[in-house]
Chain A
Amino acid sequence: MAPKFDLNDFIMHHIGDSYEWHIPLFSPIHLPHFLTVHMLMLMIGTAFLLFLMLGVYRKQDRVPTGITNFIEFFVVYIRDEIVVPNMGQEEGEKFTPMFCSFFFFILLLNLMGLIPIFSTATGNINLTSGLAFLIFVLMVGGTLMRGGIMGMWHALVPPGIPGWFVPFMFVIEVFLLFVRCVALAMRLFANMIAGHIVITAFLGLCILFGVWAGVLAFPMAVLFYCMEIFVCLLQAFIFVLLSAIFIGHMYHPKH
């Protein structure tokens, strides 16, 4: 008699982190105590990105073709539409490699979650919090390095407001500083996890109620899968766009 199918367990098993890597059609690989599946995905993703970008860099053609053309589309779009309008021309060009790194990293980790062998590393709140913490350090640390404490004060409290309002403005702006970074982390994490929960729930419905519910539920799962591809791209783009806006707002306050 087969054990009773627990939908809750099925969903949690597919979206959570664990020490066992389940490859379809093989037995689970038990990972060592310092490595979990999401960390393994990080390492595989980073290795793939390094391999890809170094290979593309070596080509050194005048007119890019193939993969280089594809990557150049994203890099030029990030530089011309996301970074430079928010941070000015020379500083934007200095910051473009960093935002491109964030974009390709998040995009690759999101897309890897859609392949059945791998799992979504950005579906781990710790990873997205780490990325948002990096943005926070850039915002606060960069402002302090560029202008000192007075630079930080001018970024938070613009010079033209009446004196009695200054304490409120300061409190609100400090609160907003933290809330924006937390929202960056939560938005990416929640979008990735929600997509996978929905897909796994529909597939679990197929298992739970047999073939006649499966005829309706399985195409829904496939449709959500297609929407997930769009959401992966969109969420990587939104992360980079919002962090460029926040950092540009702190460095050049245009109140």
Chain B
Amino acid sequence: MTPETTSHLGQISAAAGMGLSVVGLGVGVGLIFASFIQGIARQPELEGKLMTWTLVGAAIVEGIAIFAAIMCFLAIHG
């Protein structure tokens, strides 16, 4: 832990944290859209209603990853 690395500790941890949080985001949104496609395969008439809730769910899950992005951005400068 030389001074050269500890002075950039905030930046290193921010980058690592962001990469880790995107793993969970990818799995979450993938699950949502997988069940959307299965739902349409079973009953194609429900496309409108299912599409609405798919997008709502995707926005909520992405919101959590974006909180993490903002915190990482603050960690770069704080």
Residues of A within 8 A of B (CB): 8, 81, 183, 186-187, 189-191, 193-194, 197, 234-235, 238, 241
Contact = CB atoms under 8 A, between A and B. Distances in A.
B59 A190 contact: no
**What is the interface of chain A mostly: helix, strand, loop, or mixed?**
helix
- The binding surface of chain B is classed by DSSP as helix
13 contacts: A8-B77, A186-B63, A186-B67, A186-B70, A187-B60, A189-B70, A190-B63, A190-B66, A190-B67, A191-B62, A193-B70, A194-B66, A238-B63
B17 to A, nearest CB: 15
A127 to B, nearest CB: 15
Contact of A183 (B52, B63, B73, B77): B63
A241 B56 contact: yes
Contacts of A191: 62-63, 66
B41 to A, nearest CB: 24
Contacts of B62: 191
Given A190-B66, A191-B66, A197 B55 contact: no
A194 B60 CA distance: 15
A238 B59 contact: yes
Contacts of B75: none
B66 A238 contact: no
A194 B56 CA distance: 18
Interface of B: 52, 55-56, 59-60, 62-63, 66-67, 69-70, 73, 77
A187 B68 CA distance: 11
A194 B59 contact: no
Contacts of B56: 238, 241
Given A187-B67, A189-B70, A238-B63, 8 more contacts: A183-B63, A186-B63, A186-B67, A187-B60, A190-B63, A190-B69, A194-B66, A238-B60
A234 B66 CA distance: 15
A187 B73 contact: no
B8 to A, nearest CB: 14
A197 B77 CA distance: 14
Nearest to B55: A234
Given A81-B52, A197-B73, A234 B67 contact: no
A197 B67 CA distance: 14
Nearest to A186: B67
Nearest to B69: A194
